Amino acid sequence: MNASQAPSPESPLPGAPADDHVSRTRTDPVERAKQLLARIDDGAMVRVVFRGMLLGTLCVLGLDFYHLQQRSDFVSAPSVPGAPTFMPPDVETDGPTAPGNTEPFVPSDPDLARNPMQFTLEKGGTLSAKGSIDPGAAERFKTELDARGEYVKTVALDSPGGSLHDAIAMAKLIRERKIDTRVDDGAQCASSCPLIFVGGTNRSAAPKASLGVHQFYAPANDRSRPSAQVMADAQATTALITRHLTEMGVDPALWLHALETPPRALYRFAPEELVRYRLTTGEAPVAEASPSASGT
Q: Give the total number of structural domains in the chain.
A: 2
Residues 6+ apart with CB under 8 A from 137: 116, 117, 162, 163, 166, 170
Least confident interval from 30-39, 69-78, 80-89, 148-157: 69-78
Least confident interval from 95-109, 224-238, 239-253: 95-109
What range defines the domain where residue 242 resides? 102-218+226-285
d(CA 21, CA 14): 11
% of the chain at pLDDT higher than 70? 58
**pTM as predicted:** 0.65
Specify if 293 maps to a domain. Answer: no
Q: Are residues 51 and 107 in the same domain?
A: no
Q: Is the pLDDT of residue 52 over 50?
A: yes
Least confident interval from 2-6, 64-68, 191-195, 199-203: 64-68
Count CA atoms within 13 Å of residue 231 on its CB side: 3
For 55-70, how does the pLDDT look when each residue is reduced to its tens digit (9 = 90+)? 555 454 444 444 433 3
- Alpha carbon 265 to its chain centroid, in Å, reads 24
Cis link prior to 81 (omega < 30° from 0)?
Answer: yes
Q: Are residues 268 and 171 in the same domain?
A: yes
Mean pLDDT of the chain: 75
Q: Is the pLDDT of residue 86 over 80?
A: no
Last residue of a domain, one of 58, 75, 90: 58
